[in-house]
């Protein structure tokens, strides 16, 4: 795993999302001051979850076919998605946001 600096907390306000050009691409969300990182590619199709809609119940809605995923667990909660999104650990140090991304190492 690699600790990747993303941005400052001021750069990602509540309700905001950002796509990280990692491999795989990661979507980072701010839900009421808590940061969640999920795989950016929807498990149902070729949609970028960072372009989805953050809901009050800590879910994100896919912008294409409106499947909902839990921001905390990545769980696919509604059809048409049936496969969960991968999740990635986040960390805030001071005002810096980091995501732990896979490196291929074990």
- Contacts with ligand FES, residue ranges (CB under 6 A): 42, 44-45, 47, 62, 64-65, 67, 80-81
Identify which of residues 6 and 67 has a Cβ nearer to ligand FES in the complex.
67
Give dist(CA 57, CA 71) in Å, integer: 9
Identify which of residues 6 and 40 has a Cβ nearer to ligand FES in the complex.
40
Which residue stretches of 1-106 are H helix? none
Identify which of residues 69 and 88 has a Cβ nearer to ligand FES in the complex.
69
Q: Which residue has the tokens 């953050």?
A: 54
Q: How many CB atoms lie within 10 A of CB 36?
A: 23
Identify which of residues 4 and 77 has a Cβ nearer to ligand FES in the complex.
77
Q: Rounded to the nearest whole angstrom, what is the least distance from the CB of residue 82 to ligand FES in the complex?
A: 10
Q: Rounded to the nearest whole angstrom, what is the least distance from the CB of residue 10 to ligand FES in the complex?
A: 30
Residue 25: which of 46, 9, 54, 55 has the closest Cα?
A: 46
Q: Rounded to the nearest whole angstrom, what is the least distance from the CB of residue 52 to ligand FES in the complex?
A: 8
Strand partners, 15: none
């Amino acid at each position: 795993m690699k600790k990747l600096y993303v941005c400052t907390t001021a750069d990602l306000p509540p309700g905001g999302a950002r796509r990280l050009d990692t491999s795989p691409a990661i979507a980072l969300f701010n839900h009421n001051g808590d940061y969640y990182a999920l795989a950016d590619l929807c498990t149902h199709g070729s949609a970028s979850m960072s372009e989805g809609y953050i809901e009050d119940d800590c879910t994100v809605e896919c912008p294409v076919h409106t499947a909902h995923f839990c921001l905390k667990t990545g769980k696919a909660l509604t059809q048409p998605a049936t496969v969960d999104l991968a999740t990635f650990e986040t960390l805030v140090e001071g005002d810096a946001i980091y995501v732990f991304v896979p490196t291929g190492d074990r």
